[in-house]
Amino acid sequence: MSTPSEAPRLRRAAAVVGIGHSDWVRDWSRARAGEKPADSYGYGMQAFSAALKDSGLRREDVDGLIAGPTTAYERLGEVLGINPRWGDQADAVLSVVQACSAIESGLADVVAIVYGNDQRTAGTQYGGPQAMGGDAFLSYVYHAPWGLTSQGALYALTFQAYKNARGMTEAELGEVAVAQRGWSSMNPNAIMRKRITVEDYMASRYVCEPLHLFDYCLINDGGVAMIIAEAEYAKRICETPVFIQGIGRSDLNRGATSLEPRLTDFYLPAQQQAAARSYAMAGFGPEDIDVLQVYDSFSVHVPLALEGYGYCAVGDAGKFLRERGIGPGGKLPTNTGGGHLSETYMQGWAHQIECVRQLRGTCGERQVPDCRHVHYTSDVAGKAVSLIYSR
């Protein structure tokens, strides 16, 4: 059995050579006007076409495909006009892990990971009696007999428990939304660009107490795609390949459907194990990270990640947010595109292309100077995954 001190072979085995996405701002406006510009496949096609153009590759160069869970792998390949020799279906963070694994094992050389979602215009519900997926997909639907099928309610419970255990205040949590709106105000691709203050946050209505309106992610349509290639090939075809430097994963399955890992441990054991593995593979730790990207369907994910991945001591996340800061001018730039709260809710996929853009140095006004290493974390449904990107 490997230990965190061993560096697995996946380190820098693959690199991102192309990124693309749909026009989230335009599609948000059109959706609110009652239009439906595309379905999930159409958004995926838009993003893939942009990523392919960015990479300089041809369709026939792509021999691997990973489809986001909102589309079927076989059908997506047909729509994209590619015929991959290997493929799968995965969420945002595991799609990167699987692409690296496929490349390392020789199953594919160039893998497109593609996501499209028409969740807003399709009226997808993430809570209530018609919550998406039913009991075959999301564990929180196990709680339907008690009426607890809302992700917002789940994370309201999580934050209430966390407040009691660690002493964090609502105003300190508000620093997350304020910081991410600061970043999104400088991002032309972001849907929400008006800056807010902690006072604005505290004055906003509760959706499910103690979570305020600004703690919740957007629900919008769109697509995201990345093209990942074998490392040596990537160096030949791309001026600025972005390498996957470290990978770690650890799950908390015992008690998961009773919410126990989220309400008692706040993902901490899984985060710490995923962190140890990804830092060992990368060859450095949190002190060397220039930008942090955190899956943020709700703002509470961010303080949990700050503690779990070693950016501050356990119990100090509120103080860290208040005194050191994660927004423009802060000590740890976090969710620099605006994240799910303000840029776009692409279920973690958009965070990946923000990692790449920061490392390419193409983020304009919001660019973090001399960005060398970016850490992406995802903590959903009991599983913690850690990715480190490097230039």
What pTM, to 2 d.p., does this model score?
Answer: 0.94
CB half-sphere exposure, 43, CA atoms < 13 A: 30
Residue 103, CA atoms < 13 Å, CB-side half-sphere: 32
- Answer with the residue of higher pLDDT: 8 or 323: 323
Q: Are 18 and 241 in contact (CB under 8 A)?
A: no
Q: pLDDT value at position 2?
A: 43
What is the average pLDDT across 203-207?
97
Q: Kindly state the tokens that stand for 233.
A: 């090939």
Q: Is the pLDDT of residue 118 over 90?
A: yes
Integer Cα distance of 335 and 179 in angstroms: 9
DSSP per residue, 10-77: TTTSEEEEEEEE--HHHHHHHHHTT-----HHHHHHHHHHHHHHHHT--GGG--EEEE-TTS-HHHHH
3-state helix, strand, coil split of the chain in percent (to 5) is: 45, 20, 40
Find where tokens 């595109």 sit: 337
- Residue 135's pLDDT is 47
C-alpha torsion angle, residues 226, 227, 231, 234 (rounded to 10):
-120
pLDDT band at 139 (very low <50, low <70, confident <90, very high): low
Report, in angstroms and rounded to the nearest whole number, the Rg of the chain calculated over CA atoms: 20
- pLDDT tens digits, 121-134: 998 888 766 665 54
Tell me the average pLDDT across 274-298: 97
Q: What is the mean pLDDT of residues 145-154?
A: 77
Peptide bond into 210 cis (omega under 30): yes
pLDDT digits (tens, 9 = 90+) for 316-338: 999 999 999 999 999 999 999 99
Residue 110 pLDDT greater than 60, yes or no: yes
Which tokens go with 293? Answer: 């990207």
Q: What pLDDT is stored for residue 382 in this prediction?
A: 76
Q: What dotted CATH number matches 14-123+217-390? A: 3.40.47.10
Choose between 132 and 70: higher pLDDT.
70
DSSP for 120-188, written as a single string: TTTT--SSSTT-TTGGGT-GGGGGGGGT---HHHHHHHHHHHHHHHH---HHHHHHHHHHHHHHHTT-T
Q: Is 336 helix (H, G, I), strand (E, B) or coil?
A: coil
What per-residue confidence (pLDDT) applies to 212?
Answer: 98
Among 311, 293, 299, which residue's Cα sits nearest to residue 178? 299
Length reported for the chain:
391
DSSP secondary structure letter of residue 84: -
**Residue 124: CB partners within 8 Å, gap ≥ 6?**
132, 219
- Contact (CB, 8 A) for 228 and 15: yes
CA-to-CA distance for 143 and 140, rounded, in angstroms?
Answer: 6
What value does the mean pLDDT of the chain take?
A: 92
